[in-house]
């Protein structure tokens, strides 16, 4: 599955946020499959209003959302790249995630110690990023020596990997994260970059943890973070972990009322989960029938057989074709039969690139 790692300095609200995420998921367990894989990993349902629409039209008994994982990665302190704190454990954990959710403290509270003794989320982001860059720089400088030698000796693999390594190294030496390379990167180079397992190559999302009173509006700290994120081409979500912790304990029917009293129209966690999903470059397709309407997750650009393989490997191996109805057609026309009559149920083959919202039915050989 796809994983977002939650990172940040101590006492910024990571655990509060993570617990709210998993408690929400646990509370919804009757309707939403949820499991804790490890103590610090939680799978959460991806909220998607399209599911209800499709299920209503298809007369489905059950709705099954798709899920992504969040991992609470504790232990980052200044000096982590040199093994301070839980440094090495932290770095090992963070290598295993696909994207980073970076929590920044944007709330003032004299009772809660800030490790650096002041509230300055942009400086905090810099502290964390510096540790990650130092770690990447060190590991890349160590590994590139041999790759250069082998490339000179005309080793094919080394010759393809080396330019990507050199580019990442140049960025890091210049004090920039490797993710700067992601923009417009060729798919082959992306694979190579991902293979290098660099901490700063993961896409990042900043979460501004604010006091309850600032949840709807943000504050000066969140504005500073937004400016910083914009310059990096990264996204920002403003959340009050304290509110989310409360919401996670409320019964469903009291949730919206409570949120409205805070000036909010949906749980911040929903925003966070959706942003994480986009950050991972994921899209959703649906299957729909009388038994269930279900959402499935694929990476953008996945072809029909690969999408079928998410349901079952047999579907991919024996793939013949896929009846495909765009979400808008499915809803405006009123379901599969009507879409077929209107000529909007397309028969797609092996080369079809699945689009977000496609309602699909796979034909396959067993």
Question: Which positions make up the binding site for ATP?
Answer: 11-16
**Interaction of residue 209 with ligand GDP, rule CB under 6 A:** yes
- Give Cα 61 to chain centroid, integer Å: 29
Output the smallest distance, CB 354 to ligand GDP, in A: 37
Instruction: Fill in the per-residue mask, 158 to 197: x = in contact with ligand GDP (CB under 6 A), - = not in contact.
Output: ----------------------------------------
53-61, 104-112, 148-156, 248-256 -> range binding ligand GDP (CB under 6 A): 104-112
Query: In angstroms, what is the minimal distance from the CB of 28 to ligand GDP?
Result: 21
Q: Is 241 in the site for ligand GDP (CB under 6 A)?
A: yes
Q: How far is CA 31 from CA 25, 63, 157, 183, 275, in A?
A: 10, 8, 48, 38, 22
Give 48's contacts (C-beta < 8 A, 6+ positions apart): 65, 66, 284, 295
Per CB under 6 A, the segment of 10-18, 48-56, 158-166, 216-224 that binds ligand GDP is 10-18
From residue 321 to residue 360, what is the string marking binding to ligand GDP with x (rule CB under 6 A)? Answer: ----------------------------------------
Q: Which residues pair with 8 in a beta bridge?
A: none
- The rounded distance, in Å, linking the Cα atoms of 158 and 113 is 48
- Known binding-site residue numbers: 11-16
Q: Which residues of 258-274 are buried (b: 16+ CB within 10 A; e: fewer)?
A: ebeebebeebbbbbbbb
Quick check: 10 binds ligand GDP (CB under 6 A)?
yes
Residue 15 sits in the site that holds ligand GDP (CB under 6 A):
yes
With a CB cutoff of 8 Å and minimum separation 6, the contacts of 189 are 164, 181
In whole angstroms, give the CA distance from residue 262 to residue 246: 12
Strand pairing partners for 294?
64, 287
Q: Which residue's CB is nearer to ligand GDP, number 107 or number 319?
A: 107
Phi first, then psi, for residue 305 (nearest 5°) are -60, -40
Minimal distance, residue 62 CB to ligand GDP, in Å? 34
Ordered DSSP codes for 18-35: HHHHHHHHHHTTTTS---
Cα dihedral 252/256/257/262 (nearest 10): 130
113 binds ligand GDP (CB under 6 A): no
Is 12 one of the binding residues for ligand GDP (CB under 6 A)? Answer: yes
Contacting range for ligand GDP; rule: CB under 6 A; set: 123-131, 234-242, 266-274, 358-366: 234-242
**Interaction residues for ligand GDP, span 242-261 (CB under 6 A):** 242
Residues that bind ligand GDP (CB under 6 A): 8, 10-16, 107, 109, 112, 209, 211, 240-242
């Amino acid at each position: 599955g796809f994983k977002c790692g939650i990172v940040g300095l101590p006492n910024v609200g990571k655990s509060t946020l993570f617990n709210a995420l998993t408690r929400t998921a646990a509370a919804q367990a009757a309707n939403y499959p949820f499991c804790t894989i490890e103590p610090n990993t939680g799978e959460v349902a991806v909220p998607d209003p399209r599911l209800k629409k499709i299920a209503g039209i298809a007369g489905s008994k059950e709705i099954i959302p798709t899920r992504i994982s969040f991992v609470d990665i504790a232990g980052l302190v200044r000096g982590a790249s040199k093994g301070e704190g839980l440094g090495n454990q932290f770095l090992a954990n963070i290598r295993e995630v696909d994207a980073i959710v970076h929590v920044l403290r944007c709330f003032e509270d004299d009772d809660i110690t800030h490790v650096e003794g002041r509230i300055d989320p942009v400086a905090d982001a810099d502290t964390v990023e510096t540790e990650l860059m130092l770690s990447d720089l060190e590991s890349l400088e160590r590994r590139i020596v041999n790759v250069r030698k082998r490339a000179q000796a005309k080793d094919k693999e080394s010759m393809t990997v080396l330019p990507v390594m050199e580019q990442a190294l140049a960025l890091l030496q210049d004090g920039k994260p490797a993710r700067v390379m992601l923009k417009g990167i060729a798919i082959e180079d992306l694979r190579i970059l991902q293979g290098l397992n660099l901490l700063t190559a993961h896409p990042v999302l900043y979460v501004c943890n604010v006091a309850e009173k600032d949840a709807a509006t943000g504050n000066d700290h969140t504005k500073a973070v937004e400016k910083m994120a914009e310059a990096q081409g990264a996204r920002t979500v403003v959340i009050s972990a304290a509110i989310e912790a409360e919401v996670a304990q409320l019964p469903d029917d009291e949730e919206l009322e409570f949120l409205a009293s805070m000036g909010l129209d949906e749980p911040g966690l929903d925003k966070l989960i959706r942003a994480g999903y986009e950050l991972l470059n994921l899209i959703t397709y649906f299957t729909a029938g009388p038994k269930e309407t279900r959402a499935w997750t694929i990476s953008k650009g996945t072809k029909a057989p690969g999408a079928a393989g998410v349901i079952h490997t047999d579907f991919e191996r024996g793939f013949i074709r896929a009846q495909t109805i765009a979400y808008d057609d499915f809803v405006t026309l009123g379901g599969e039969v009507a879409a077929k009559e209107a000529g909007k149920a397309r028969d797609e083959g092996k080369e079809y690139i699945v689009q977000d919202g496609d309602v699909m039915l796979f034909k396959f050989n067993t």
